[in-house]
Amino acid sequence: MLTGLWKIAVAIALTAMLSACAASGPSLPSPDLVGSRDSLPGTKPTNAAVAAPTDVASLPTDSNDAYDPYEKMNRSVFERNEKFNRSVVYPLAGFYINNIPQPVRTSVENFVSNLAEPIVFANDVLQLRPDAAATTVGRFAINSTVGLAGISDVASRNSIARQSGDFGQTLYVWGFRKSPYLIVPIIGPTNVRDLFGTGVEVVASIPAGNLLPTQIASAANNITVAGTIASPFTKLDDVDNMKQLEDSSLDFYTMLRSVVDQKRQAELQEALAQSAWTAAGRANLRTATPPQPTALSPFQHAPAPKTPTEEFMANTLQGANGVN
Amino acid sequence: MFFCRVVASLGLALFFLLPTNGFSAAGDPAATRVDSFYAALLDTMKQAKQLGVKGRYDKLAPVLSNTYDLPLMSRIAVGQNWAALSAAEQQSIVAAFTRMTAATYASRFNGFAGEQFEVLQTADQPNGDKIVKTRIVQSDGTAVQLNYLMRNSGGAWKIIDVYLNGTISELASRRAEFGSILKSGGANALVSALTKQGDKLLAGG
């Protein structure tokens, strides 16, 4: 019993330490990352009504690139962060992974993620997303009780997926769309809007005495994100997926920027599609049907529209047949 | 309304405590292609140690060539520069990208820890393509969703893009990478980077 408690305590302590490291570089990117692409200069929004290009060669190469006007400066900071990752983050992550059993790590991540649900809920309310807010309340209630104070993510196992909801996303829904990609020393990849959003969330947590749990929850979320985005390039059982993503990249800076931008765009578009602030969101809410259980996502009444990447790739692939 | 949704969430969660079954994609030719690919991948993972990285590469390379439309993916990833390249440069890029892709799989899938590969369902696209939805379940129950965009090319369904969690396109990421390298160094730099990456992956296993 004591051994078990000791391991849990070590796990929590290491997670807290990793929170500083996780937020310190691009190896463990925050989900609060890249700004809107729909306002990028020189890019055209795609939609189904626009005829697909007849050949991919007619498309500008950078049509789908993230908005990165400070690339030169960002690359410089990125390199320094990478050195820090190699010297500190990867060894620390390796120690954590090798010494803490997977079930304990999962339980710690579940516990701290559950602590962050109130912030997710608050932002879903600010974004006028009743479905996401209600689902988050349900998740928090279930995981805090049946899930033993959040140690077990019973909700996700029953297809009640964790919802997005952060203040950077809220600002996007409120109209702050354009935001350049930014690599911040120690903190890592973000953008001006989302960096501000994260700052607001941290400050908002202080009066409630939640600063430490929030940081830990954020770290756990970052670790989860790191594990998620690297999976197609890696074998799944490794947790140092970001290092493996780097190993799979020709140009890690560009690869990471693309991956985190796509992930963030999906969250932002999902928020718009579900928000009563937008006409599309209101239409989706009006046509929403009561939740029906399915194998995939019973609570996703209003599926997110295609992200800019999905639309771009769909249009690109539409006209491309064969090599020559 | 809000309260009702909360109650619905709670009620459904408590009622449906058992895992739900996935949709069947049995019989669909695109899904069958992915199924075969997963079977070969699992087989390789289970023999990973005996095969070594070179053995895994030799085993997976033909499977990947049959499963992915790597020439088309190369062309998409290069983008507008493709037409300006010579035939020799195009062929070099396709060959180097094909080799690096197989090397990536050979390097990464170097063991088996109880993962399960599940083909869930297939969705037809307006242009005739299909999206095959799958998930990979780790031994601890954690699942990762992988969707494959597939096209019927010469009578065979082949993967032309991979979407992680339904949103992150591997091809879009490669396109961004290729664009960056082509801009700074041209086709030769791209072939060199792909070849170097393949060498590194095959040497590190």
**3-state SS class at A61:** coil
Asked if A18 and A92 touch (Cβ cutoff 8 Å), the reply is yes
Contacts for B26 with CB less than 8 Å, ≥ 6 apart:
none
Considering only residues A324 and B86, tell me which one the structure prediction assigns the higher pLDDT: B86
> Has residue A317 got a pLDDT over 70?
no
Alpha-carbon gap: A264 to the closest alpha carbon of chain B (Å): 10
> Dihedral sign, CA of B4, B5, B6, B10?
positive
Closest residue in A to B204 (Cα) is A247
- Taking a C-beta distance cutoff of 8 angstroms, is the pair B144, A236 a contact? yes
Question: Mean pLDDT, to the nearest integer, of B171-185?
Answer: 92
Look-up: residue for tokens 């989900």? A31
pTM of the complete model: 0.71
Residue B161, strand partner residues: B149
Chain A residue whose CA is closest to B100: A248
User: Minimal Cα distance from B164: which residue of A?
Assistant: A232
Name the percent of chain A lying above pLDDT 90: 24
Residue B128 burial by Cβ neighbours in a 10 Å radius (0-12, 13-18, 19+): exposed
Rounded distance between C-alpha atoms, residue B73 and residue A31, angstroms: 28
**Dihedral sign from CA coordinates of A246, A39, A316, B189:** negative
CA distance A20 to A188: 11
* pLDDT tens profile A43-63: 233 332 222 233 333 334 444
Output the furthest CA–CA distance in chain A (Å, rounded).
Answer: 67
| Residue-wise pLDDT tens digits, A175-207 | 998 899 988 887 678 888 988 888 887 777 655
Determine, for residues A316 and B76 on separate chains, whether the beta-carbon distance falls below 8 Å.
yes
Q: Name B136's bridge partners.
A: B117, B144
E-strand ranges in B69-205 read 116-124, 130-137, 143-153, 156-164, 168-169
* CB nearest B8 (choices: A103, A263, A291): A291
* For A270, nearest residue in chain B (alpha carbons): B167
Q: Indicate the SS3 state at residue B119.
A: strand
Distance from CA of B78 to the nearest CA of A (A): 8
Supply the mean pLDDT for chain A. Answer: 66
| pLDDT reported for residue A316 | 58
Q: Cβ of A159 and B16 within 8 Å?
A: yes
Cβ of B169 and A310 within 8 Å?
yes
Out of B75, B115, B201, name the one closest to residue A236 (CB): B115
pLDDT confidence bin for A321, thresholds 50/70/90: low
DSSP state of A294: -
Distance CA B186, CA B81 (A): 9
A298: chain B residues, CB-CB within 8 Å: 12
The pLDDT of residue A155: 93
Residue A30, CA distances (Å) to A179, A194, A196, A209 in order: 16, 10, 13, 22
Cβ-Cβ contacts under 8 Å, A62 against chain B: 179
Q: Would you call A143 helix, strand, or coil by DSSP?
A: helix
ipTM: 0.80
What would you measure as the largest C-alpha separation in chain B, in angstroms? 64
Contacts of B144 in chain A (CB under 8 A): 228, 231, 236
A61 close to B (CB below 8 A): yes
